[in-house]
Amino acid sequence: MDIHEIQKFDPQKMYQVYDKWAVLARDAYEKEFSRIKFEDIDHVVLAGMGGSGAIGDIIAAILSRENFHVSTVKGYLLPKTVDSKTLVIAISISGNTKETLSILDYKSKSDAKFVAISSGGVMEKKCIENSIPHYNITMNHSPRASFGVFLYSILKILGDALPIHKSEVIESLEKMEQLQASINSNNLDEKNKSLNLARKINSNPLIYYPDGLKAAAIRFKNSLQENSKIHTSIEDVIEASHNSISTWENNNNFKPILLQGADDYVKTKERWKIIKEYFNSKKIDFEEVYSVDGNIISKLVCLIYLLDYASIYLAILSKIDPSPVDAIDFIKRKL
């Protein structure tokens, strides 16, 4: 692969956004926003679909270690547990996601606190009409390519409302910058981990993950589906050991990819060892991807960066333009 091949099959230049993902993320975090200062919150609801939903998954993972009840909503309805101590965060990068817009309709009949983030669109107008705090963040290329900018903008906006530690955010940005130097399109050699992984995906990926990395697994699945246009599935490695692992007793067209944390729980590490032993005994070819060392934000965002770029490289290797999502657009036009 060379830069001319990338330019040929990525005419909308998605790769150029990913080449500077870490820079864009840092710029977003260093930007001045009016900060959310809601108090007495014990329940956070993160509503969003697709790339916007992936941001909710990340924030939910960050808050999972705190004394918060966290819900993610990928649909039209709020959970019935919402009350006056609930903060509803509606995220629609495009600003036009119908499911997420419907969540804002609850503002008139709920005691919950609401805030919305988008690049404008219908969401901004709806927030003005209903006196909902709204933050307008610029979209880069597409909702999925804007993940980093929106995530770090939101981490800054919510810094006073939720226990998100600035030192951990800064560490994650530094680790993203280190990763950016090795996986961008200026380094199309054997040291590029994203490109190496893309070259090894020769059938439909089946992604195994530990619970702590679920957000990265979901995002990788979505990116492979949208960018590379291939069927992809995910499985929790512990749950899979009780059911779906049995499907490997028959021949199939799946490629196991094992997403592992640098410091997974000791029993999870034991499970990985057993799974690998089983695959080796059956001569099943699998790939391993490890998170960086560090806090949960660093682990997740660096995995997502690495895996997102792998999905773009896979599209190029398959001579597919990663940008168009015609089937998604068809469904949106019908709604």
**Quick one: 283 exposed, middle or buried, by C-beta within 10 A (0-12, 13-18, 19+)?**
exposed
Contact by Cβ (8 Å): 18, 308: yes
In a domain, 59, yes or no: yes
Closest CA to 195 of 304, 299, 289, 314: 314
Residue 112 sits in the same domain as residue 41: yes
CATH number for the domain including 153?
3.40.50.10490
Residue 253 sits in the same domain as residue 224: yes
In a domain, 176, yes or no: no
Mean pLDDT of all residues belonging to the chain: 93
In a domain, 157, yes or no: yes
Sign of CA dihedral 156, 297, 323, 48: negative
- pLDDT band at 51; cut points 50, 70, 90: confident
Measured in degrees and rounded to the nearest 5, phi and psi for residue 321 equal -75, 120
Residue 151 tokens read as: 């995530």
DSSP structural state of residue 35: P
Residue 148 sits in the same domain as residue 66: yes
Query: Within 13 Å and on the Cβ side, how many CA atoms surround 96?
Result: 9
| Percentage of the chain modeled with pLDDT above 90 | 82
In a domain, 2, yes or no: no
* Distance between first and last Cα of the chain: 40
Please tell me the total count of domains within the chain.
2
Residue 157 sits in the same domain as residue 199: no
Residue 151 sits in the same domain as residue 189: no
Once rounded to an integer, what is the mean pLDDT over residues 259-273? Answer: 95
Once rounded to an integer, what is the mean pLDDT over residues 107-127? Answer: 93
This prediction has a pTM of 0.93
Alpha-carbon Rg for the chain, nearest whole angstrom, is: 20
Per-residue pLDDT, 11:
96
Residue 155 sits in the same domain as residue 188: no
Once rounded to an integer, what is the mean pLDDT over residues 28-37? Answer: 86
Cα–Cα dist 66/70, whole Å: 10
DSSP structural state of residue 153: H
Residue 241 sits in the same domain as residue 144: no
Domain residue limits at 234: 184-317
Contact by Cβ (8 Å): 96, 90: no
Residue 252 confidence (pLDDT) above 90:
no
Residue 141 sits in the same domain as residue 255: no
In a domain, 303, yes or no: yes
